[in-house]
């Protein structure tokens, strides 16, 4: 039996699936995948190697029609995954605009820091907003054998519906994506350490400063340093577009990362909870001004209150190596 769409929403459908055995995974995945294939819908499956083998064996000859990838092929970080899923949708819409797309995507939670877990959970909430104008039917599996109880509970808060075997049930714990995002914001540092640089609208001077300071901190080539400069430059351009005229910027090393903080005593008028997630071409609009920064950086946090606003972004020290690995996987996926 194929899980029914119980949601009245005709566009993006976002469901979670809590499972604790191979049979429970297959009870959800097999009818979902076969239902898509029989309806002529593109189907993307990104899950663990073990689950990929299980599903491939169960589906048999129809398996060749499914796009199978391991989760890392959709991106190493949450914004990259959101973009990859949207691009998969866009690629298939170019030929058949009315056709729905099915995506079964299982995040990898093992070995992640608390900050990384929080970022991936915010992404799950963000998908409800960022992909709202698509016709994607997406199921996100959570394996209770490897995922801790807190992450499983939050899955019920970020997915409007849950698939249980062959049934689809509304999630009684679901909260508005913006509310969930606000409850999972990492605290930012209270003040600069060393190397404080103040600017008042001089974007060129800020980029020059960042490139000079980052070169001694990033254990990578000139290209990675240049990408970091682009990310910071876009963040400063965003502040300028929001009427911020003055700010301070400083860089510091932290846990094999280079962290850049921009702070102004002028508050932002409004901080959307999912800045940097919507690609510029998502709805034929220019995006929100921080998409590229969010793609480049390991994390991007934007906060604002009466005392001012702060943007913090970070890149790994081995940025060049990570960028090359991520690009190689992205090209293989999009081929």
pLDDT digits (tens, 9 = 90+) for 115-155: 889 999 999 999 999 999 899 999 999 999 999 999 999 99
pLDDT digits (tens, 9 = 90+) for 5-43: 544 445 899 999 999 999 999 999 999 999 999 999 999
Distance CA 230, CA 236 (A): 10
Cβ atoms of 128 and 15 within 8 Å: the answer is no
pLDDT at 334: 56
Task: Kindly tell me if the per-residue pLDDT of 248 is higher than 80.
Answer: yes
Domains and CATH numbers, the chain: 13-182 (3.40.50.300), 197-325 (3.30.565.10)
Cα distances (angstroms) measured from residue 257 to each of 111, 193, 197, 207, 316: 17, 16, 20, 19, 4
Sign of CA dihedral 239, 243, 249, 255: negative
Distance CA 155, CA 151 (A): 6
> What average pLDDT is seen over the chain?
84
pLDDT digits (tens, 9 = 90+) for 167-205: 899 999 999 999 998 888 766 555 555 567 887 767 778
Predicted TM-score (pTM) of this structure: 0.83
Which of 9-18, 73-82, 320-329 has the least mean pLDDT?
Answer: 320-329
pLDDT at 227: 86
pLDDT at 2: 45
Q: How many C-beta atoms lie closer than 10 Å to residue 177's C-beta?
A: 23
Q: How many C-beta atoms lie closer than 10 Å to residue 240's C-beta?
A: 14
pLDDT at 1: 42
């Amino acid at each position: 039996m194929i899980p029914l769409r119980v949601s009245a929403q005709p566009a993006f459908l976002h469901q979670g699936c809590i499972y604790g055995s191979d049979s429970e995974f297959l009870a959800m995945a097999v009818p979902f995948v076969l239902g898509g294939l029989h309806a002529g819908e593109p189907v993307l499956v990104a899950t663990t190697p073990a689950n990929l083998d299980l599903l491939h064996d169960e589906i048999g000859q129809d398996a060749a029609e499914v796009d199978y990838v391991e989760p890392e092929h959709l991106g190493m970080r949450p914004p990259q995954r959101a973009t990859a899923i949207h691009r998969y949708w866009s690629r298939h819409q170019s030929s058949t605009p009315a056709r729905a797309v099915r995506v079964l995507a299982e995040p990898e939670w093992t070995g992640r820091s608390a900050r990384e877990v929080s970022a991936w959970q915010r992404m799950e909430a963000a998908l409800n907003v960022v992909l709202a104008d698509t016709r994607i039917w997406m199921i996100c599996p959570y394996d209770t054998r490897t995922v801790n109880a807190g992450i499983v509970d939050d899955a019920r808060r970020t997915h409007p519906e849950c698939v249980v075997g062959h049934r689809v049930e509304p999630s009684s714990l679901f909260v508005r994506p913006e509310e969930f995002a606000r409850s999972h914001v990492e605290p930012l540092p209270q003040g600069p350490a060393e190397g404080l640089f103040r600017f008042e609208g001089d974007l060129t001077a800020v980029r020059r400063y960042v490139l000079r300071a980052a070169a001694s901190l990033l254990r990578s080539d000139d290209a990675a340093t240049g990408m970091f400069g682009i990310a910071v430059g876009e963040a400063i351009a965003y502040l300028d577009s929001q009427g911020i005229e003055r700010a301070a910027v400083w860089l510091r090393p932290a846990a094999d990362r280079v962290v850049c903080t921009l702070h102004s005593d002028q508050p932002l008028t409004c901080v959307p909870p999912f800045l940097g997630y919507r690609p510029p071409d998502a709805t034929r609009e220019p995006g929100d001004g921080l998409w590229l920064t969010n793609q480049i950086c390991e994390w991007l946090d934007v906060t604002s209150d009466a005392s001012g606003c702060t943007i913090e972004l970070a890149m790994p020290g081995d940025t060049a190596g990570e960028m090359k690995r991520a690009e190689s996987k992205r090209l293989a996926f999009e081929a």
